[in-house]
Amino acid sequence: MQTATQPHSHSHDHAGHDHAHHEPGFFSKYIFSTDHKIIGIQYGVSALIFLLFGFLLMLAMRYQLAYPGQPVPVVGSLLQKFLGDDLAKGGVMQADLYNSFGAMHGTIMVFLAIVPILFGAFGNYVTPLQIGAPDMAFPRLNMASFHAYFLGGVIMFASFFTPGGSARSGWTSYSPLASVTDLVNRFDGQTYWLIGMVFLITSSLLGSVNFIATIIQLRCRGMSWMRMPFFVWTQFITGFLLLLAFPPLEAAGIMQLMDNLFGSSFFLPAGLVVNGTALGVSGGGSPLLWQHLFWFLGHPEVYVLILPAIGIVAEVIANNTRKPLWGYKSMVYATMSVGFLSFIVWAHHMYLTGMGTKIATFFQTTTMMISIPSVIILTALFISLWGGSIRFNSASLFALSFLPMFGIGGLTGLPLGFNASDVYLHDSYYVIGHFHYVVAPGTMFAVFAGIYYWFPKISGRLMNETLGKIHWAGSLFFMNCVFAPMFIQGFKGMSRRMYDGGTTYFLGVDPTALSLNKMITMSAIALGLFQLPFIINFFYSIFAGKKVHSDNPWNATTMEWSTPTPPPHGNFTSEPVAYRGPYEYSVPGSKTDFTPQTQKP
């Protein structure tokens, strides 16, 4: 493919056809594609579908919490038909079904929706473009990674229809609970969950090897480390988190699989009694071992969910304030510190497991330390806004509201990191409120910002601004209506595990905490309705959105905007060279208010 000698082509419709020595068929183009852009889109579409599915699971749970014992409207009869009387008798959500939806909501949102959309979709599509690479370093590995992810997703989805339903021991699958949920049918939902997880972990490992190798090896000429866009840095650190934190969970997953299928006792203590009968296992295992191995992944995973989101926000903010990012280097070093520290904070999830004071103090200290670089990043982004002439388009509105939302999420985490206050708040709705502020209005807003921002590059068309702003306003308002009351419920001591919404526990004691349940549920439904403008906008804009008139509709500086739209196979029409840093906006003395990285000095 000697495209290097061809002039820059603006014939968008034929961009991919310049080297027509092979016209790929449907399967090789969309299913077995090795092009990072197609794989990115595959990840994006699958992850958005899983996102919607995970959201609907939550809506059904929320209905049960607000109106315990009443049939779920609209889908109640379907639930009964597909899942049987045991789980959804008369369309009423039974305790087992609530548990199973809860476990799957967490699993689907974390492993099948948000990580794939941040790392798989945006990472795949944007990273090689931003570093001036023709593709990922290992295109076939990239394809295998997507296939493993998809297979894992299918297995997870199929587990709903196994006898007894899907996994229902929480997304954390604590042993021994996870190993004793179904003692008769050992090939139960939990087993499906574990097999699915092994596929998802394999996918993430292949992906992370690929990302790190790509960023190290395929940066174009002139793209030195400190000229990389911040988004690429976050992908790089995220890659390391996935690479080194996931294998212990894979090991743990296989151990639990052996506990379930072969009757071993990795995580089962001796003398375990379930429902009044002694469990016929040898025992001698350690339930805490599972928790250690799980949270060794679990905590870095939190940063996997948030770092790429911060990367997207940084891109959008720099572009829409027309200013360089304030403190780019500090942000980079802060990101590295976050990544490094995130490996040694995990046991703050386990303060209540009977930990000694010394080790609890250690983890409390590291947890407090990790909040410092996080605050540095957030502060740098806030200062970046100062004195900018901010453009308020949909992408930028989402990115701007990310900052306070993530701020609330982060700050409410501090009381959970102190072991004294965690003793009270642990396992309450406060925890749910805290981490949802980080990932729902936090990460999800960044995802939406990213979609509005890069949509023109991917499709060649702009998304509708009016619908986008309706989507933003509704999402911001109702996100807060959903999650802020959870802090109050948590302070009042409401446990996150109660499937009747706390009715039995709170009866006549504190009606306010209970009444908040209805408000949260209503807000969640409204939040769902406000996603409709986005869905309509998305499909409408693919086919009939306003066409972009240049390859760089946002007047951005980073390299993905110097490719044709959409980028052809091989991405760049001539070898790109980075002559300057990533955010040269409003350079004094320059004719335009942006200077692309590829512009010669």
Q: Which residues bind another protein (CB under 8 A)?
A: 1, 3-4, 133-135, 137-139, 141, 205, 208-210, 212-213, 216-218, 221, 240, 243-248, 250-252, 254-255, 258, 262-266, 270, 280-282, 284-286, 288-289, 292-293, 296, 343-344, 347, 350, 354-359, 362, 570-572, 575
SS3 150: helix
Q: CA 489, 494, 496, 497 torsion: positive or negative? A: negative
CB of 312 to another protein, least distance (A): 24
Q: Which is nearer to another protein, 169 or 214 (CB)?
A: 214
CB nearer to another protein: give 315 or 560: 560
Among candidate residues 153, 119, 115, the one with its CA nearest the CA of residue 136: 119
CA-to-CA distance for 601 and 599, rounded, in angstroms?
6
**Helix (H), strand (E) at residue 285:** none
Q: Smallest distance from the beta carbon of 24 to another protein, in angstroms?
A: 17
220 vs 527, beta carbon nearer another protein: 220
**Of 264 and 393, which CB lies nearer to another protein in the complex structure?**
264
Asked if 128 and 218 touch (Cβ cutoff 8 Å), the reply is yes
Q: What separation, in Å, do the N-terminal and C-terminal C-alpha atoms of the chain show?
A: 29
CB of 213 within 8 A of CB of 235? no
How far is it, in rounded angstroms, from Cα 319 to Cα 316?
5
Distance separating alpha carbons of residues 407 and 142, to the nearest angstrom: 34
CA nearest to 516, candidates 499, 503, 528: 503
Q: Which is nearer to another protein, 271 or 601 (CB)?
A: 271
In the complex, what is the shortest distance from the CB of residue 341 to another protein, in angstroms, rounded to a whole number? 11
Shortest distance (Å) from residue 251 CB to another protein: 4
299: helix, strand or coil: helix
Q: How far is the CB of 563 from another protein (least distance, A)?
A: 11
Q: Is 513 left (phi over 0), alpha (psi -120 to 50) or beta?
A: alpha
Residue 22 or 358: which CB sits closer to another protein? Answer: 358
We find the least distance from the C-beta atom of residue 50 to another protein, in angstroms, to be 25
Between CA 556 and CA 593 the distance in angstroms is 10
Q: How far is the CB of 551 from another protein (least distance, A)?
A: 17
d(CA 448, CA 471): 10
Nearest distance from residue 488's CB to another protein, in Å?
30
By beta-carbon proximity to another protein, the closer residue of 37 and 62 is 37
- Nearer CB in complex with another protein: 42/419: 419
The three-class DSSP label of residue 585 is strand
Q: How far is C-alpha 495 from the chain's CA centre?
A: 25
**CB 306, CB 185: distance < 8 Å:** no
User: At closest approach, how far in Å is the CB of 188 from another protein?
Assistant: 18
Nearer to another protein, 217 or 550 (CB): 217
Closest to another protein by CB, 98 or 351: 351
Cβ neighbors of 384 (< 8 A, separation 6 or more) are 317, 318, 321, 323, 324, 325, 326
CB of residue 109 to another protein, shortest distance in Å: 24
Angle in degrees, CA 471, 474, 478, rounded to 5: 140
